Amino acid sequence: MSEKAWSYVKLFSVAASFGISTAVRIGLGWYAGNYLDQKFQTSPFLMFVGVLLGVGLSFQHLFTQLKVLGRPKRGNGN
């Protein structure tokens, strides 16, 4: 596979990973926040906290992945 095609595959991988992880993290934050809101009668405060936490963790994951992609390739030891 050519270098250009490989870079597109890596970018698609990061985009797919970001989309899936964002949906999962926000969904879990919403679910946990909703559960805690019902338990402590704080509706909808903890749900918002859970969703914002999910969004924050998703962006942290994205920045980590972009930093890894931005690193120069390691040589073959020469």
Asked, as a colleague might, if the bond just before 72 is cis with ω within 30 of 0, I would say: no
Residue with tokens 């805690």: 36
* pLDDT by 10s per residue, the chain, length 78: 788 888 888 889 888 988 999 999 999 999 999 999 999 999 999 999 999 999 999 999 989 988 887 877 776 655
The CA-CA-CA angle for residues 25, 26, 27, to 5°, reads 90
The three-point CA angle 34-37-42 to 5° equals: 145
Q: Would residue 34 count as lying in a domain?
A: yes
In a domain, 59, yes or no: yes
Provide the domain count of the chain.
1
Written as one string, the DSSP assignment of 22-42 is: HHHHHHHHHHHHHHHHHHHT-
77 in any annotated domain: no
Residue ranges making up the domain that contains 23 = 3-69
The rounded distance, in Å, linking the Cα atoms of 51 and 34 is 10
* Residue 42 in domain: yes
